[in-house]
Structure 1
Amino acid sequence: MKALVYNGVEHLSFADVPDAVPGIGECLVRVEASGICGSDMHAYLGHDERRPAPLILGHEAAGIVSSGPRDGTRVTINPLVTCGTCPACLSKRENLCSNRQIISMPPREGAFAQFVTIPDSNLIEVPEDVSLAKAALAEPLAVSWHAVRLAIEALHPATNRRALVIGGGAIGLAAALALGAMDVDDVTVAEPNALRRDYLRALGSFNVVEIPTGEFSLVIDAVGYAATRAVASAHTKPGGVMAHVGLGEDTGGLDVRRMTLQEITFIGTYTYTSQDFRDTSQAIFDGRLGALNWTEMRGLSEGAQAFRDLRLGAVAAPKVILNPWE
């Protein structure tokens, strides 16, 4: 089969690789759409030791089951594989499973390939009237759905719901959409890239700015650099909640003194629970997350160039989705 293989820092190749072979309890899925995630970019730049070369990246995928009793079923893939038996799994917090795996991280190859293997329990059937390119957005949307849900649950019920999302990429945009789906109407997205700001403004669903002003009760850092954490610290109102999603940089930026004196709640959020993924998928199918027409499609054979363009900030669309058959 064909795959986009990460071979080292800023080096990707479109190549023939051994066919994916499902294990016991797994399905073989013919990948029809696979999105480029920020974590894929971190690996591409050599910033993620969990993803050593050579490796097939990609974990935001949808396709068609090509083996077993569900052969022919259109599905979106929950890429987080968990044990199901540890305390975290039994308490329905599968994202904290100590034995968790994710496709695109050893020992599991990723979905920038024509086929991928995944446990049957990680598949959600996609209705015929929903495109598989749209269904592939379930994973990044679920990341933000989970973060927004936790932030809202942590917010004091008497506090107003004025929200700031830092970063207008796919995770930031997904957070803004999730906030809207959870009845938060006053949402601002801060995005420094002028090309992307113009793209987001054209969507017309929320306020888009270069630099935020004022204070917000809900702040979602969808970037995760010291600079964005500093912005989040400065703009979270007393008694507010800051949810941290991005993994751009490990340290720096938080104003711990202000957070302590103003009783600001900080929540680190990672991926999603199985229920969050199901809820997000249903919200996609129901249309509660909007048209989801903010993607750019490219062939997997053009994947290396797509990564270079993203690296240069030359892509306006928040999400690039690759078709493994082109």
Structure 2
Amino acid sequence: MKALVYDGVEKLGFREVPDARPKAGEHLVRVEAVGICGSDMHAYLGHDARRPAPLILGHEAAGAVIGGARDGARVTINPLVTCGSCRACASGRENICPDRQIISMPPREGAFAQFVAVPDRNLVEVPGDVPLAKAALAEPLAVSWHAARLALEASHPDTDKRALVIGGGAIGLAAALALSAMGVRDVTVVEPNDIRRTFLADRCRQNAVAEAEGQFPIVIDAVGYSATRAAASALVQPGGVIAHVGLGEDAGGLDIRKMTLQEITFIGTYTYTAEDFRETAQAIFDGRLGPLDWFEQRSLAYGADAFRDLRAGRVAAPKIVLTPWM
């Protein structure tokens, strides 16, 4: 099969690789669409030791099952593979399973390929009227669905339901869409990149601004740099909630004194539970997350160019979805 392989810092090669081989309890999926995630970019830049070269990246995927009892089923892939038996898994918090794996991280190759092997329980069937390119958005949307759910659950019942999202990439936009789907009608997205901010406003109908003013009861940091944590600390109101999704930098930025004196709740959020993923997929199928027409499709064969364009800030769309068969 052909795959886009991460060969080293800012080096990607599209070439023949050994075929994906499903193990017991797994299915072979023909990948029809796979999105580029921020974590793929971190690996590409050499910032993720968990993803050493050479490696097939990519975990935001949808396709069709090849062979077996589910042959032909159109599916979106939950890439988080967990043990299913530990305390975290038994309590429905699979995302903190101590033995969790994710496709695109050893020992599992990713979905920037024509085929990928995935456990049966990680596949969610997609209705025939839903394009697989949209179904591939389930993974990044689920990340933000999880963060929005936790933020709302941590909010005081009397809190004004307004929210600020820092970062207008796919995770930030998805957070705004999830908050809206959950009943938060006043959502502001901060995005400093001019072309992306214009895209968010014109194409995605978001209240997108270059800088935020005032304070907000809910702040979601979808970037995760020291500067964005500092902004979140400054912009959250007393008694409010900061949900932290981004993994840009490991340290710095939080105003711990303010968080203590003003009883601000800080929540680190990682991926999603299996139920979050299923709920997100259903929200896509039901249309509750909008038309989801804000991604750009390109061929996997030219995936290296897509990474370079993202690196240079030349992409207005919040998400690039690659197609292995173009």
Query: Which TM-score applies when normalising by structure 2?
Result: 0.99
Tell me the number of residue pairs that the alignment of Structure 1 and Structure 2 aligns: 326
Deviation larger for 198-207 or 154-163: 198-207
Is 1:305 aligned to residue 320 of structure 2? no
- Once residues 251 and 301 of structure 2 are traced to their aligned partners in structure 1, the CA distance between those partners, rounded to angstroms, is 36
- Once residues 204 and 29 of structure 1 are traced to their aligned partners in structure 2, the CA distance between those partners, rounded to angstroms, is 31
- Once residues 302 and 17 of structure 2 are traced to their aligned partners in structure 1, the CA distance between those partners, rounded to angstroms, is 17
In structure 1, what is the equivalent of residue 268 of structure 2? 268
Alpha-carbon RMSD across the aligned residues, in angstroms, is 0.5
Query: Which TM-score applies when normalising by structure 1?
Result: 0.99
In structure 2, what is the equivalent of residue 113 of structure 1? 113
Cα displacement (A) at 1:203? 3.0
- Once residues 227 and 68 of structure 2 are traced to their aligned partners in structure 1, the CA distance between those partners, rounded to angstroms, is 49
- Contact kept? 1:224, 1:247, Cα under 8 Å: yes
- Contact kept? 2:204, 2:294, Cα under 8 Å: no
3-state DSSP of counterpart to 1:4 = strand
Please list the CA deviations of residues 195-247 of structure 1 after superposition, one character each: whole Å capped at 9, or x if unmatched: 00000001353311001100000000000000000000000000000000000
Please list the CA deviations of residues 167-187 of structure 1 after superposition, one character each: whole Å capped at 9, or x if unmatched: 000000000000000000000
Cα displacement (A) at 1:306? 0.1
Q: How does 1:147-166 map to 2 (within 5 A)?
A: 147-166=147-166
- Once residues 109 and 139 of structure 1 are traced to their aligned partners in structure 2, the CA distance between those partners, rounded to angstroms, is 17
In structure 1, what is the equivalent of residue 252 of structure 2? 252
- Contact kept? 1:135, 1:281, Cα under 8 Å: yes
- Contact kept? 2:151, 2:242, Cα under 8 Å: yes
- Contact kept? 1:62, 1:133, Cα under 8 Å: yes
- Contact kept? 1:186, 1:206, Cα under 8 Å: no
Please list the CA deviations of residues 17-64 of structure 1 after superposition, one character each: whole Å capped at 9, or x if unmatched: 000010000000000000000000000000000000000000000000
- Once residues 117 and 219 of structure 1 are traced to their aligned partners in structure 2, the CA distance between those partners, rounded to angstroms, is 37
Cα displacement (A) at 1:188? 0.2
- Once residues 156 and 90 of structure 1 are traced to their aligned partners in structure 2, the CA distance between those partners, rounded to angstroms, is 28
3-state DSSP of counterpart to 1:15 = strand
Please list the CA deviations of residues 2-25 of structure 1 after superposition, one character each: whole Å capped at 9, or x if unmatched: 000000000000010000010000
3-state DSSP of counterpart to 2:201 = helix
Is 1:124 aligned to residue 124 of structure 2? yes
Supply the AA of the counterpart residue of 1:41. Answer: M
Supply the AA of the counterpart residue of 1:285. Answer: F
- Once residues 86 and 104 of structure 2 are traced to their aligned partners in structure 1, the CA distance between those partners, rounded to angstroms, is 23
Please list the CA deviations of residues 103-123 of structure 1 after superposition, one character each: whole Å capped at 9, or x if unmatched: 000000000000000001100
In structure 2, what is the equivalent of residue 318 of structure 1? 318
- Once residues 117 and 67 of structure 2 are traced to their aligned partners in structure 1, the CA distance between those partners, rounded to angstroms, is 10
In structure 1, what is the equivalent of residue 288 of structure 2? 288
Is 1:99 aligned to residue 111 of structure 2? no
In structure 2, what is the equivalent of residue 224 of structure 1? 224
Supply the AA of the counterpart residue of 1:303. Answer: G
- Once residues 120 and 206 of structure 2 are traced to their aligned partners in structure 1, the CA distance between those partners, rounded to angstroms, is 37
Supply the AA of the counterpart residue of 1:116. Answer: V
Supply the AA of the counterpart residue of 1:286. Answer: D
Cα displacement (A) at 1:67? 2.0
Please list the CA deviations of residues 76-105 of structure 1 after superposition, one character each: whole Å capped at 9, or x if unmatched: 000000000000000000000000000000
Structure 1 residues 204 and 96, CA, compared in 2 at 3 Å: closer, same or farther? closer
- Contact kept? 1:31, 1:63, Cα under 8 Å: yes
In structure 1, what is the equivalent of residue 60 of structure 2? 60
**For structure 2, which runs of at least 5 residues remain unmatched after alignment?**
none
Supply the AA of the counterpart residue of 1:175. Answer: A
- Contact kept? 1:167, 1:221, Cα under 8 Å: yes
